[in-house]
Amino acid sequence: MTDNSAHTQTLLDMSDLLKPNAVRVAATLGIADLVAEGGGTAATLAERAGAHPEVFAKLLRYLVELGLFTVDADGVHALTDLSRPLLRSNEPSLAQYLSMEGLFGRVSLGLVGLLHTVRTGEASHAAVFGRDYWDEINTDPVYVRALEAEGPTEAGWDADAVIRAYDWSTVRSVADVGGNNGTLLIELLRAHPHLRGTVIDLPNVAGIAARRIEEAGLADRGTAVAASFFEELPKGHDVYLLSGILADWSDEKSVAILRRVAEAAGPDGRVLLAEINLPEMGTGLAAADTALRVAATVPVPARTVEAVRDLADRAGLTPTWQGPVTPVRSVVEFSQAGVELSQAGVELSPAVALDRVPEVAGA
Ligand SMILES: C[S@@+](CC[C@H](N)C(=O)[O-])C[C@H]1O[C@@H](n2cnc3c(N)ncnc32)[C@H](O)[C@@H]1O
């Protein structure tokens, strides 16, 4: 006979929301560090955390019951083995990863909107927080620290397909649209010493990109400006690069972005789409977890080269060169006029170029 009460308890434990929130609040407030820096009673810890004394005491009591801290007869708290990984000095920082004011933490909190995703197929963040993820973390000053701490420091997702497979020798100036904290542009400028570049992104990351470009000693060739790709973009660059941008947007929004980019590029400019493609892979719980998590987070994680070309076509862009297609990325160059361009010393007509490239696996 089925033990319903045991299963009921299992389901209640699985669906509890208090535990994850309490642990994340502890990470956000840095309670492990406050305790490590001299313990203290709930009252003194609350003051140092800048928290409401009575509710903070209730949180601490719960965390003690969960085994994160101990408390002695004088009400003084101490760390346990369970809370030590939450110390901010750990590298990489679990506390930063779990922080409700962190980049990854914000993604996780969006999962509260899973019902919206399941009903509509749309990512959940805007449904929960009233604005999309990038808009939120790029406008609110509270996320500047998180963008500094958690932003990428190396270009990933087969970035070599952008940095080395494309012929940058004829390009004087590139706009990295949605270039985030400048990581990809910095690597591009280092790899191609003749190249000049500008990151175009929303205010918080654009400010960080400008500083990082300067710190990299590239201020003479690189810069960053704050602008939205849903509005008019700075003109005059030879190439407008979009790396990993469209996955975050529906087809309609993607076409709107591409129209803005095409408008800025003008008839003589080129648009280089280095799009991410995340086809579902693997079996088992971890793969199922990733598939659902990605669906709630990234609106269109998998677009084939065909789909990317269709979007560009709707924005009046014609493919002029097809670059590598790796398991996670495709690189295609477009222009308004569809003029033939050479690549790697080979003159490729669009038809030939596109024919020569295998489709993304599983597409
Ligand atoms: C997935 S990240 C891609 C970052 C980078 N291009 C790369 O390849 O790693 C998307 C980027 O788009 C930017 N973004 C989002 N909305 C934007 C907007 N309306 N205008 C300009 N940039 C935006 C985000 O700030 C973020 O840096």
The predicted-structure confidence for 226-272, as pLDDT tens digits, reads as follows: 999 999 999 999 999 999 999 999 999 999 999 999 999 999 999 99
Which residues have C-beta within 8 Å of that of residue 333, sequence separation ≥ 6? 166, 270, 271, 272, 273, 319, 320, 321, 322, 323, 341, 343
The predicted-structure confidence for 71-85, as pLDDT tens digits, reads as follows: 999 999 999 999 999
- The CATH number that domain 1-98 falls under is 1.10.10.10
As a whole number, mean pLDDT of residues 40-64 equals: 97
- For ligand 1, is residue 107 a contact (CB within 6 Å)? no
Which CATH architecture group holds 160-278+298-355? 3-Layer(aba) Sandwich (3.40)
- For ligand 1, is residue 205 a contact (CB within 6 Å)? yes
- For ligand 1, is residue 26 a contact (CB within 6 Å)? no
State in Å: Cα 228 to ligand 1 middle: 9
* Closest listed residue to residue 270, CA positions, set 205, 324, 222, 331: 331
Q: What is the DSSP code (8-state) at residue 233?
A: -
- Check pLDDT > 80 for residue 342: no
Residues of the chain with CATH 1.10.10.10: 1-98
Lowest-confidence region among 14-28, 126-140, 222-236: 126-140
Residues of the chain with CATH 3.40.50.150: 160-278+298-355
φ and ψ at residue 198, rounded to 5 degrees:
-135, 130
- For ligand 1, is residue 331 a contact (CB within 6 Å)? no
- Output the pTM of the full model: 0.85
The predicted-structure confidence for 164-222, as pLDDT tens digits, reads as follows: 999 999 999 999 999 999 999 999 999 999 999 999 999 999 999 999 999 999 999 99
Query: Ligand 1, closest atom to CA 135?
Result: 16
* Bridge partners, residue 243, by sequence: 274
- For ligand 1, is residue 184 a contact (CB within 6 Å)? yes
How far is the C-alpha of 16 from the C-alpha of 14, rounded, in Å? 6
Q: What is the C-alpha radius of gyration for the chain, rounded to an integer number of angstroms?
A: 24
**DSSP annotation string for 11-78:** HHHHH--HHHHHHHHHHHHTHHHHHHTT---HHHHHHHHT--HHHHHHHHHHHHHHTSEEE-TTS-EE
pLDDT at 357: 28
The predicted-structure confidence for 275-288, as pLDDT tens digits, reads as follows: 988 777 788 999 99
Lowest-confidence region among 97-101, 234-238, 282-286, 308-312: 282-286
Counting ligand 1 atoms within 8 A of each CB, the residue from 140, 158, 202 with the most, and so the one to mutate, is: 202
